[in-house]
C-alpha cells in the first residue's frame, strides 16, 4: 500500500467516524476533509475547490438556504400541518398529498440541480 493510499483511507475512516458519531456538523466535516486533502497534497487546491463552481453544487446550496429560511420563518411547519390535516391520518393519502405538493417543484429548478438535490448526482454529466 502506497503512502497516498494509506493517507486517503485514513481520511475516509476519520470522516466516516465523525459522520457516524456526529461530533461535528456534516458541513464542517466535509470542508475539513476537503481542506485536509488539499493540505496533504492528495489533490491540488484547484482540484479541491473546482466543484464549487458546478451549477449543481450551487443549486444544492441554494436549496439548503431556502429550506433553512422556510424552517426559521415557520412556513415549513405551516405547510406540514396543512399536509397532515389533508392526509387525515391515512398513509396512502399522505403520500398522494406530498406527491401533489412536490410535483410542481421541477418547474422551478434546473434538471441537473434537481437531480443533485434528489441525491442522483451521478447523472449530472448526462445533460
Annotate 86-110 with DSSP letters as a single string. HHTT-HHHHHHHHHHHHTTGGGGS-
pTM equals 0.54
With b for 16 or more beta-carbon neighbours within 10 A and e for fewer, the 7-43 pattern comes to eeeebeeeeeebeeeeeeeeeebeeebbebbbeeeee
**How confident is the model over 21-59, as pLDDT tens digits?**
999 999 899 999 999 999 999 999 889 888 888 887 888
**How confident is the model over 63-113, as pLDDT tens digits?**
889 999 999 999 999 989 999 999 988 999 999 998 988 888 777 766 655
Q: Say what the pLDDT of residue 7 is.
A: 94
CA 58 to chain centre: 11
Place of cell 476533509: 33
Q: Say what the pLDDT of residue 53 is.
A: 83
What are the domain boundaries of the chain?
Answer: 3-52, 54-118
Amino acid at each position: 500500500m502506497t503512502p497516498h493510499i494509506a493517507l486517503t483511507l485514513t481520511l475516509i475512516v476519520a470522516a466516516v467516524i465523525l459522520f457516524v458519531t456526529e461530533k461535528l456538523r456534516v458541513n464542517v466535516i466535509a470542508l475539513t476533509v476537503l481542506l485536509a486533502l488539499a493540505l496533504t497534497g492528495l489533490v491540488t487546491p484547484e482540484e479541491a475547490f473546482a466543484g464549487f463552481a458546478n451549477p449543481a453544487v450551487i443549486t444544492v446550496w441554494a436549496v439548503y438556504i431556502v429550506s433553512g429560511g422556510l424552517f426559521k420563518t415557520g412556513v415549513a411547519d405551516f405547510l406540514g400541518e396543512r399536509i397532515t390535516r389533508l392526509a387525515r391520518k391515512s398513509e396512502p393519502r399522505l403520500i398522494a398529498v406530498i406527491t401533489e405538493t412536490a410535483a410542481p417543484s421541477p418547474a422551478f429548478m434546473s434538471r441537473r440541480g434537481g437531480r443533485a438535490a434528489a441525491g442522483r448526482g451521478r447523472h449530472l454529466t448526462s445533460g
